[in-house]
């Protein structure tokens, strides 16, 4: 079992008071806090090692290159990638998905092609495809959801058919927490020869991921949602597919040879990492993975399941509450999205902030999903390794207080 009270001590920001109350941070699906271990690794890099990578023969450059490459190896191991060349550092999930749409998508889609996503997606896995279909005259199709926010798998073999060229879907919904059966969908896509992209922004930080077991072609996630810094993310891609893909951004470091007339590209993954990368970010991400591995991804999943079970039990006692998403914690990650009658989510969020509790309110960058479920917005509490049942108890108490408060204003 995770000792989350002890873990919280590693996070300086969690010692802060907000509006005279000890901070309860329940906005982890948006971004997570950083342990001293990660903060110090970035600070140490700038204090002792900082230099540009891959081009220098001096000690600092060689050390920086070594640390950057080590970070890539660490990410490869974290998701059981068969090699480090399959790991491309990006700015985050959004850039990873755009990279695939802009390169693989433009090279492989035409008017006969269909792209399949789901009704659960974050805007980052909708908008790049909506733009791509305009340029390629291809079609965008959606796997629908049931009223409980789970995917409806019934007509999968009609939605995914011989016209399908790529299936891109989220592993875990950031809006309502649904965990999708991605293995089932990957298999269906493989049966028609379609490529698959998994948006693991909300799963890689919270449960073990094994890309070889999943069999997906691409997988994307963000460092800042897993204790790492902002501005660093990952695109995993099968090496043979990456090798066939056109380059993304062009410039330094991604080239093999440049003449005044033309240029040729470096091998993967360098072909996709033009310019000076976020070296400190990669090093911070490596430290974050080291920290998560010490706890173990299996224990993190178990801890979040326990917290979710506890909060659902407590919140179901609140009169009239509408909890979005699946009933069972087996189908749900560590987040709860909800609405309370007569209290607007923004008002609730502001009230909770006066008590030191940080949650997210709004459409959670999943506007079509929240609308489909009959709302314009919801309140969302999302958990991580440092959150405790006591914090949940305080949260539920303050929700009940807010209902009384808004009844009287």
- The site for ligand PLP (CB under 6 A) is made up of 92-94, 122, 124-125, 170, 174, 199, 201-202, 222, 365
Least distance from C-beta 103 to ligand PLP, angstroms? 17
Considering the complex, what minimum distance in angstroms separates the CB of residue 258 from ligand PLP? 31
Euclidean distance between CA atoms 105 and 300, whole angstroms: 35
Which class for 145: exposed (0-12), middle (13-18), buried (19 or more C-beta within 10 A)?
buried
Provide the pairing of β-strand 139-143 with 233-237. Answer: unpaired
With a CB cutoff of 8 Å and minimum separation 6, the contacts of 347 are 406
Helices 297-315 and 279-295, packing angle to 10 deg: 80
Looking at the Cβ atoms of 202 and 387, the one nearer to ligand PLP is 202
Closer CB to ligand PLP, residue 71 or residue 403?
Answer: 71
Shortest distance, CB of residue 265 to ligand PLP, whole angstroms?
Answer: 25
Rounded to a whole number of angstroms, the minimum distance from the CB of residue 123 to ligand PLP is 8
Q: What is the DSSP string of 278-291?
A: -HHHHHHHHHHHHH
Which of 365, 366, 381, 385 is the catalytic position?
Answer: 365
**Contact of 369 with 118, CB cutoff 8 Å:** no
CA dihedral 302, 306, 308, 309 (to 10 degrees): 130
Output 170 or 287, the one with its CB closest to ligand PLP: 170
Alpha-carbon gap, residue 278 to 224, rounded angstroms: 13
CA distance 304 to 388: 9
Q: What is the CA radius of gyration of the chain?
A: 22
By beta-carbon proximity to ligand PLP, the closer residue of 174 and 387 is: 174
224/355 with CB nearer ligand PLP: 224
Rounded to whole angstroms, how far apart are CA atoms 67 and 82? 20
Nearer to ligand PLP, 123 or 305 (CB): 123
Asked if 216 is an active-site residue, the reply is no
For ligand PLP, the closer of residues 132 and 201 by Cβ is 201
Q: What is the DSSP string of 299-353?
A: HHHHHHHHHHHHHHHHHTTSTT-EEES-SSGGGB-SEEEEEBTTB-HHHHHHHHH
Q: What is the nearest approach in angstroms of ligand PLP to the Cβ of residue 49?
A: 26
Tokens standing for 396?
């539920």
Q: How far is the CB of 233 from ligand PLP (least distance, A)?
A: 6
d(CA 141, CA 126): 11
Q: Which residues of 229-246 are buried (b: 16+ CB within 10 A; e: fewer)?
A: bbbbbbbbbbeebbeebe
d(CA 297, CA 1): 12
Instruction: Report the alpha-carbon angle 296-235-308, nearest 5.
Output: 40
Residue 312 CB, shortest distance to ligand PLP, in Å, is: 21
**Catalytic amino acids?**
365
């Amino acid at each position: 079992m995770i000792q989350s009270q002890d873990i919280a001590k590693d996070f300086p920001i969690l010692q802060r008071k907000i509006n005279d109350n000890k901070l309860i941070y329940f906005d982890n699906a948006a971004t997570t806090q950083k342990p001293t271990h990660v903060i110090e690794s970035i600070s140490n890099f700038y204090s002792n090692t900082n230099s540009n990578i891959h081009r220098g023969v001096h000690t600092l450059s060689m050390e920086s290159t070594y640390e950057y490459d080590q970070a890539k190896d660490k990410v490869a191991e974290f998701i059981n990638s068969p090699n480090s060349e399959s790991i491309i550092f990006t700015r985050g999930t959004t850039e990873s998905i755009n990279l695939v749409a802009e390169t693989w998508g433009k090279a492989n889609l035409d008017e006969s092609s269909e792209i399949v996503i789901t009704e659960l997606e974050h805007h980052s896995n909708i908008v790049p495809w909506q733009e791509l279909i305009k340029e390629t005259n291809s079609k965008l199709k959606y796997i629908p959801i049931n009223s409980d926010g789970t995917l409806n798998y019934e007509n999968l073999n009609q939605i995914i058919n011989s016209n399908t060229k790529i299936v891109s879907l989220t592993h875990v919904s950031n809006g309502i927490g649904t965990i999708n059966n991605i293995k089932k969908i990957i298999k269906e896509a493989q049966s028609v020869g379609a490529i698959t992209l998994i948006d693991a922004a909300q799963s890689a930080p919270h449960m073990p991921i094994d890309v070889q077991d999943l069999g997906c072609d691409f997988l994307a996630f963000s460092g800042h949602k897993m204790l790492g810094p902002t501005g660093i993310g990952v695109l995993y891609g099968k090496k043979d597919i990456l090798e066939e893909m056109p380059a993304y951004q062009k410039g330094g470091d991604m080239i093999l040879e440049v003449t005044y007339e033309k240029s040729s590209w470096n091998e993967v993954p360098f072909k996709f990492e033009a310019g000076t990368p976020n070296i400190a970010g990669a090093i911070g991400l490596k430290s974050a993975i080291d920290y998560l591995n010490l706890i173990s991804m299996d224990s993190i999943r178990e801890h979040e399941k326990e917290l979710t079970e506890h909060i659902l039990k407590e919140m179901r006692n609140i009169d009239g509450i509408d909890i979005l998403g699946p009933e069972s914690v087996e189908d749900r990650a560590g987040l709860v999205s909800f609405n309370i009658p007569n209290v607007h989510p923004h008002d609730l969020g502001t009230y909770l902030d006066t008590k030191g509790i940080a949650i997210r309110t709004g459409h959670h960058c999943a506007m079509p999903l929240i609308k489909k479920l009959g709302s314009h917005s919801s309140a969302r509490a999302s958990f991580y390794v440092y959150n405790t049942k006591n914090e949940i108890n305080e949260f539920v108490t303050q929700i009940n207080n807010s209902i009384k408060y808004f009844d009287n204003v």
